[in-house]
């Protein structure tokens, strides 16, 4: 029964326009990263954040080794080694800022601040990649970001008044443009590299760049922590695979409105695991985010349908 349902679902997804499939991949990536962030915050509270960063990507690399052994080294040889290392270096810098702030601010704040990344991605895609910036993409991102401000407003006011972790919030915010640069490099790499090659080399390069930082304050993990990092590796590689598939199927700016769904998933995860009841601001902001996301997805689907050539019988001339 499950197999039949999976086949029907896969068939339905394959029948969708490329832009819609890209949005579905982006939504799946957001869900996976939401679960990953919750687990990473738990581990970062127990170990040094830079060690946590290294072990998360080390296990992401280990998870991918069976595919390397199965398909051979040649299948994962990049067309642009320099591009892969540049992407890994930029992503490592963003991770250093992100992990330094992670133990000091709530998960909801982490998720909401991360929503500034699409703004930088959208601007970078327009400026550097010359992607068309249709008005509905600007509108969806703007409305979604307004929803994020509604959710995050109380925390930002508290930090501004000296009653919160303002420094950690600023570190988290500083990571957003760095991650945006990493994702833009990823988009460029999808023009010549397969998804598997990009994900594999990200895990490898970030592991190499993070190792010296991890050794500065190394603490041997417990058995449960090792298991947690193994799960993080699987989730991280899976999330980046979904994200890269979304980048290869549509303009990078077209997928960014889906990122705002992560806030809703964070609220649901917090309620399910920690009995955290969403506040009125979370519900209000979530409603704005959901409306913007659904509207943008429908606009992209309608645009793709309009651009698709007719498949019916040719009319007589």
Please give the average pLDDT of every successive group of 10 residues along the chain, which has 317 residues. Answer: 45 64 84 88 89 93 88 89 95 94 80 78 81 78 80 70 68 90 91 88 95 93 94 87 79 66 77 70 75 71 66 45
For residue 233, give Cα distances in angstroms to 37, 200, 289, 296.
12, 12, 29, 31
Q: pTM (2 decimals)?
A: 0.75
Can you give the pLDDT at residue 275? 67
pLDDT for the residue 314: 45
């Amino acid at each position: 029964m499950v197999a039949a349902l999976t086949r029907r679902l896969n068939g339905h997804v394959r029948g969708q326009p490329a832009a819609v499939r890209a949005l579905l991949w982006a939504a799946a990536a957001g869900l996976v990263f939401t679960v990953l962030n919750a687990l990473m915050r738990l581990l970062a509270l127990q170990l040094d954040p830079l060690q946590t960063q290294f072990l998360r990507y080390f296990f992401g690399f280990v998870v991918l080794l069976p595919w390397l052994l199965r398909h051979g080294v040649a299948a994962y040889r990049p067309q642009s080694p320099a591009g892969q290392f540049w992407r890994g270096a930029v992503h490592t810098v963003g991770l250093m800022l992100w992990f330094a702030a992670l133990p000091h601010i709530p998960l909801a704040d982490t998720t909401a601040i991360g929503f500034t990344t699409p703004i930088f991605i959208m601007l970078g895609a327009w400026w550097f990649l010359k992607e068309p910036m249709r008005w509905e993409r600007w509108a969806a991102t703007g409305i979604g970001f307004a929803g994020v401000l509604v959710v995050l407003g109380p925390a930002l006011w508290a930090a501004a008044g000296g009653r919160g972790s303002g420094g950690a919030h600023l570190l988290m915010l500083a990571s957003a443009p760095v991650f945006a640069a990493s994702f833009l490099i990823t988009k460029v790499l999808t023009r010549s590299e397969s998804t598997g090659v990009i994900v594999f080399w990200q895990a490898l390069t970030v592991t190499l760049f993070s190792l010296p930082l991890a050794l500065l304050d190394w603490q041997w993990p417990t058995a449960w922590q090792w298991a947690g990092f193994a799960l993080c590796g699987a989730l991280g590689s899976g999330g980046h695979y979904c994200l890269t598939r979304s980048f290869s199927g549509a303009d990078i700016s077209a997928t960014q409105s889906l990122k705002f769904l992560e806030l809703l998933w964070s609220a649901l995860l917090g309620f399910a695991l920690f009995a955290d009841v969403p506040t009125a601001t979370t519900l209000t902001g979530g409603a704005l985010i959901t409306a913007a996301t659904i509207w943008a997805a429908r606009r992209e689907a309608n645009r793709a349908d309009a651009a698709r050539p007719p498949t019916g019988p040719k009319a007589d001339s």
